[in-house]
Amino acid sequence: METLKMIQARKAVREYSGQISDDQLHQILLAANAAPVGMGRYDDYRLTVIQDADVLSKMTGIYDAPTVIVVSVKVDSASDEISAGTIVHNMELAAED
């Protein structure tokens, strides 16, 4: 899919058709790791994949998503928040593909 069309077609998803495959998850994580991070401080960021139904049932606002990826960073500056956003954005683009 062309990038601009994919960006324009982006939508919020609140209903899921099932678990993503290991390959799909791998591609999403590769995209996350390819995101630009301020000062190249990749070690300051953590990606946590949650697929355990018991853990997910305790989380609110995820609309019964079968997989959640949490991006964690020690926020020292606004650039850390921006870098976390680039990671999430790359994952969104990869998930759409």
DSSP 27-39: HHHHHHHTS--GG
Q: Work out the angle between the directed axes of helices 78-96 and 22-33 (0-180°, nearest 10).
A: 150
User: Alpha-carbon distance 62 to 78, whole Å?
Assistant: 25
Q: Express each pLDDT in 18-46 by its tens digit.
A: 999 999 999 999 999 999 999 888 999 99
Distance of CA 34 to the CA centre of its chain: 12
Residue with tokens 């995209």: 31
Q: What is the DSSP letter of 73?
A: E
Q: Where are the domains of the chain?
A: 3-96
Give the domain 3-96 fold. NADH Oxidase (3.40.109)
pTM score, whole prediction = 0.88
